[in-house]
Structure 1
Amino acid sequence: MINTYHTSLPPPPVPPRQGAHRPATGRATPLLWFLSVVMVLQMGVTFGGFVYLFRKSSTISQAAEKVGFLSGSVPFQDSGVVAHMAPESDSGSFTSKTLKWNRAHSLLVKVTYLYTPGALKILIPGEYYVYSQVTFSKMHPKAPLFHSIVSRRSMENKVLLRAYASLNNEKPLTSFQGGVFKLEKDEELSLNVTDTSLVNLEVTSTTFGLFML
């Protein structure tokens, strides 16, 4: 039998095979752009958080150092040069106005203590923070109460700092002073008071020291 059926329509398309993927068109979908923007923003927020925490910790450290200075503690850097002196218990028996210090109970690193003049001798020149704290427990009948940090260089004495105090109702009074100075090799520093017999010589009440910046 001869098939005489003819048509001019094209044949139907072949159905896609299972597992085949549509080729990429080269354009990102809106969802992909959104996710990219979110990731960039998250990275920026994370980096900003680290910067904020770093600056905050630095500010706290600086504040702690300032509190240490005001409280009379020894907040020194790791320069290797430091002195923090404990008072000699019988300093009040000396006629001199210079306080004496107990070497065995003091902190001395790369600084020499000369007992006879009661002075700290600088071995390494540089810029130093020098401080003193004195507690007076008695009044003087005529002279005002004070403590002075005195520098001796080339047989010449110079007052670096002086603080005055005034007792009220005969109660002990503590005064603190400190400052930054450029000190030379072999320069000697001592602490003078109105009268050594008026000073409270407890370790936590009276002290003298320095550290290199």
Structure 2
Amino acid sequence: MINTYSSNLPPPPVPPRPGTQSSMRNWTRSRSHVRFLCAAFVVQTVVTIALFLYLFQRIDAASNENNSTFNNDLIVLKRLEECESNSLDSGSLLDCSKVLQKFQGIISKLSQIEGKAWGLSAPGTPSGTEARAQMTIMASSGQTLKWNPDYSMLKNVEYYTRSRSLQIRVPGYYFVYSQVTFSKAHPKTPLAQFVMRRRSSAERAGEDLLLKAFCSPGSNDLCTSYQAGMFRLEEGQQLYVNVTDSSLVNFEVTTTTFGLFLMQRVP
């Protein structure tokens, strides 16, 4: 039989393969992610370069300012040196007088500022006159405790090994403290420590008691006595620590100590 049927319609499209549409979507997403990462990298690079340039300009400006200040200082010092010479004419001498007046004004302002700073930090205590001492104990015998100056802290206070005493160099009001630990009790005498003051020969000669403290050992045969006070001390006066018996003292550096520090200087 002969097929006489004919049609002018185009053939139907080929159906897509399974998974083709999902692959296209994934590729589109990947391309979007790559674009986003590239844009973020470009923005970060631009910001980093901008910050670097800003910091470089700030550092360069600060360096130029410091160099300018240094150069100005050199010019002023050179001008002062020229003013010191005798080969200047009358006009130059007039300029020198103006420079010296300005220089003296700056010095006076600096002195006032330094004076205010000291007034806030330590009233009545000028710079360089602080005095303090913290002594490290040494094993010894006798009534007066002995200290090791090589391992002690001393500033503007002298330690005399022979008398085992601290001598005051800067007069003023001092905070004095003393701590003594006893390892066992005395059979007859209570355990006690005394901070003594020896007056110089220029004053009324003699000694007086500043502080006194007792302690009684407990079941562990150890007891610690501590005492402290504020005293006005004059130049040349000496302080030392007496105990009932130094053979009963615990000579560990953390248990027995003696010291003082200047609170306010007096003329």
Provide Cα deviations, 1:155-209, integer angstroms capped at 9, x if missing partner: 3110000000111124211111000000010000000001000000111000000
Cα distance in 1 between the residues matched to 2:220 and 2:206: 36
Aligned length: 132
Choose between structure 1 and 2 for higher RCO, CA contacts under 8 A separated by at least 6 residues.
Answer: 1
Residue aligned with 1:197, SS: helix
TM-score under structure 2 length normalisation:
0.48
- Picking from 120, 133, 137, the partner of 2:179 is 133
What residue in structure 2 maps to residue 182 of structure 1?
Answer: 232
Cα distance in 2 between the residues matched to 1:87 and 1:79: 26
Provide Cα deviations, 1:125-163, integer angstroms capped at 9, x if missing partner: 000000000000011010000000000003311000000
Cα distance in 2 between the residues matched to 1:147 and 1:81: 24
Residue 233 of structure 2 aligns with an amino acid whose one-letter code is L
- Picking from 215, 235, 257, the partner of 1:165 is 215
What residue in structure 1 maps to residue 159 of structure 2?
Answer: 113
Cα distance in 1 between the residues matched to 2:224 and 2:189: 17
Paired-residue identity, %: 48
Structure 1, gaps ≥5 residues long: 1-77
Residue aligned with 2:247, SS: helix
**Residues 129 and 156, structure 2, Cα contact 8 Å, conserved in 1:** no
TM-score under structure 1 length normalisation:
0.60
Cα distance in 2 between the residues matched to 1:197 and 1:84: 22
Give the alignment of 1:50-199 within 5 angstroms: 80-88=130-138, 90-91=139-140, 94=141, 96-154=142-200, 155-199=205-249
Cα distance in 1 between the residues matched to 2:220 and 2:145: 22
- Report runs of 4+ in structure 1 exceeding 4 Å deviation: none
What residue in structure 1 maps to residue 57 of structure 2?
Answer: none
**Residues 85 and 101, structure 1, Cα contact 8 Å, conserved in 2:** yes
By percentage of residues, which structure has more strand? 1
**Residues 139 and 170, structure 1, Cα contact 8 Å, conserved in 2:** no
Cα distance in 2 between the residues matched to 1:165 and 1:116: 28
By percentage of residues, which structure has more helix? 2
